[in-house]
Chains A and B, each alone.
Chain A
């Protein structure tokens, strides 16, 4: 009697293991099927980057010497600087440290980020404070009345 019940239990074990495995993987798969769409939903679909490679940043009479202005380049801010000698330079205005928007400081004649006191020179090089990299430099052309800024090829 005891022997037969023992063998019956023993005989049932592999089948039970199979059932547990099937049930377990079924439950796991359904959890994955619930969680996966939710995670994909959380991450927003990519926005197509604006492909504009050049933009009119200002009119020629707009900026005095030793002055700067922020303009919109694609979806990001950029900085147009008119140096003391009247020439133009343009940079990305996004600080390479933590993404704040930089500005031209007439008093020190450098580019300054107010957030953490980062300073760049007029070549866009990070010269002081926490920024780890130079600002991206753009090309500037004056076409008639327009100051045109374009990405370097």
Chain B
């Protein structure tokens, strides 16, 4: 008597050739070398994304996206609904950890030059995913309709409004009117639970498909060492060896999330009042701190540009260069590692770290 799962598998294999998936899994390998650790961060980000989807769906059961009800409904979730505090805190903490692991993943890919040919599109889809994740962060931040979120949204959308020509249009599109109101909340809710998840799922599918097609990138230094016979080309099977290690990491992440949510429950703050001054010590989430601090230093006019637009332009240009780096650093594709791009990465990381630290002072 063959086990049930074997029979089910045989049934599926007969219908659409499920065996080829098994075949693929059997041959998928993960290179083993001193940088293997960094391979785990993509999967970790994916795991946290799934946590976001699940806890997000749970929050949807009670959340109400209107100016009069949003704050109260979150308050209701964290005070009345059983384990509501846990679900909401896990959603907030997991969001922040996800952005952290996505950044670690991105920088490790950058420094290990995994973006080089033929993985340019994997890099680009990954960067687009990172922007989508920041979009999730920005839109989700407003949903509890508290004071901090209200002013953060005012500032963020006003920055978009500083773009010449289309800025005003963009501002009204984002806010659903001239001001940040209940209309903005409803829109951000729509972005957060419908538009962004749709785009992210599509982009994620492309990203994962490319990763499966191309396999893991081996860093140039390791590639050279193997070519020169200084170290053997070692690997482990993805299934089950690497996947089990992945799952171990995810299990640990669940523990960390639960502990963080229980020990440091996410603050709700005070309900947004459009007719109260911005509170002292106001600042955005940590991943926007470096931009926030830069804004403080930019004078009202830079050459002939409005200060905030100059800042936006600089960050936009930096982001564009970052996305296009596989094409700018095309020499890495022939195994020629230029120190310039590693230096650029260290500069970017350093800038973000120093500016964020200054903002927290």
Question: Is the CB of B280 closer than 8 A to any CB of chain A?
Answer: yes
Compute how far the CA of A34 lies from the CA of B227 in the bound complex, rounded to whole angstroms. 57
Partner of B277, one of A101, A117, A130, A131: A101
Question: Is the CB of B38 closer than 8 A to any CB of chain A?
Answer: no
B280 with A44: CB separation less than 8 A: no
A98 with B281: CB separation less than 8 A: no
Q: How large is the interface on A (under 10, 10 to 19, 20 to 34, 35 or more residues)?
A: 20 to 34
User: Of the 9-residue stretches B27-35, B153-161, B231-239, B262-270, which lies at the interface with chain A?
Assistant: B153-161
B208 CB, nearest partner CB in chain A, Å: 30
User: Of the 9-residue stretches A23-31, A69-77, A137-145, which lies at the interface with chain B?
Assistant: A69-77
Compute how far the CA of A109 lies from the CA of B153 in the bound complex, rounded to whole angstroms. 28
Compute how far the CA of A111 lies from the CA of B182 in the bound complex, rounded to whole angstroms. 28
- Digitize A99-111: 1 where CB-to-B-CB distance is under 8 Å, 0 elsewhere: 1111100000000
Question: Is the CB of B76 closer than 8 A to any CB of chain A?
Answer: no
- Number of B residues near A (Cβ < 8 Å) is 32
B277 with A102: CB separation less than 8 A: yes
Q: Which residues of B contact A101 (CB under 8 A)?
A: 151, 274-278
Partner of B275, one of A42, A72, A99, A116: A72
Question: Is the CB of A126 closer than 8 A to any CB of chain B?
Answer: yes
B183 CB, nearest partner CB in chain A, Å: 6
Q: Which residues of B contact A126 (CB under 8 A)?
A: 300
A98 with B282: CB separation less than 8 A: no
Q: Knowing A43-B169, A100-B155, A115-B151 touch, does A132 contact B278 (C-beta < 8 A)?
A: no
A110 CB, nearest partner CB in chain B, Å: 13
**From residue 284 to 340 of chain B, which have CB atoms closer than 8 A to chain A?**
292, 295-296, 298-301, 306-308
B218 CB, nearest partner CB in chain A, Å: 45
A117 with B296: CB separation less than 8 A: yes
A114 with B280: CB separation less than 8 A: yes
Q: Which residues of A contact B277 (CB under 8 A)?
A: 70, 77, 79, 93, 101-103, 114
Q: Which residues of A contact B223 (CB under 8 A)?
A: none
Closest residue on chain B to residue A129 by CB atoms: B296
Q: Which residues of B contact A102 (CB under 8 A)?
A: 277-278
A56 CB, nearest partner CB in chain B, Å: 15
Q: Knowing A42-B173, A44-B172 touch, does A114 contact B155 (C-beta < 8 A)?
A: no
**From residue 1 to 16 of chain B, which have CB atoms closer than 8 A to chain A?**
none
Question: Is the CB of B246 closer than 8 A to any CB of chain A?
Answer: no
Compute how far the CA of A95 lies from the CA of B151 in the bound complex, rounded to whole angstroms. 12
Compute how far the CA of A54 lies from the CA of B275 in the bound complex, rounded to whole angstroms. 17
Q: Which residues of A contact B169 (CB under 8 A)?
A: 43
A116 with B281: CB separation less than 8 A: no
A130 with B177: CB separation less than 8 A: no
- Digitize B131-158: 1 where CB-to-A-CB distance is under 8 Å, 0 elsewhere: 0000000000000000000010011001
Closest residue on chain B to residue A96 by CB atoms: B300
Q: Which residues of B contact A149 (CB under 8 A)?
A: none
Q: Knowing A77-B275, A132-B301 touch, does A98 contact B173 (C-beta < 8 A)?
A: no
Closest residue on chain A to residue B176 by CB atoms: A44
B66 CB, nearest partner CB in chain A, Å: 16
Q: Which residues of B contact A113 (CB under 8 A)?
A: 278
Closest residue on chain B to residue A99 by CB atoms: B158
A132 with B275: CB separation less than 8 A: no
**From residue 72 to 100 of chain A, which have CB atoms closer than 8 A to chain B?**
72, 75-77, 79, 93, 95, 97-100
Partner of B308, one of A47, A71, A98: A98
A47 with B298: CB separation less than 8 A: no
Closest residue on chain B to residue A49 by CB atoms: B178
Compute how far the CA of A153 lies from the CA of B108 in the bound complex, rounded to whole angstroms. 60
B142 CB, nearest partner CB in chain A, Å: 14
Task: List 18 A-B residue pairs with CB atoms under 8 Å apart, sorted by A's residue number.
Answer: A70-B276, A71-B275, A72-B275, A75-B179, A77-B275, A77-B276, A77-B277, A93-B277, A98-B295, A99-B158, A103-B277, A114-B279, A114-B282, A130-B296, A130-B299, A130-B300, A132-B300, A132-B307
List the 3 shortest-distance A-B pairs measured between CB atoms, nearest first: A103-B277, A132-B300, A99-B158
Instruction: Contacts A116-B295, A126-B300 known; list 6 others, CB within 8 Å.
Output: A43-B172, A70-B276, A71-B275, A93-B277, A130-B308, A133-B300
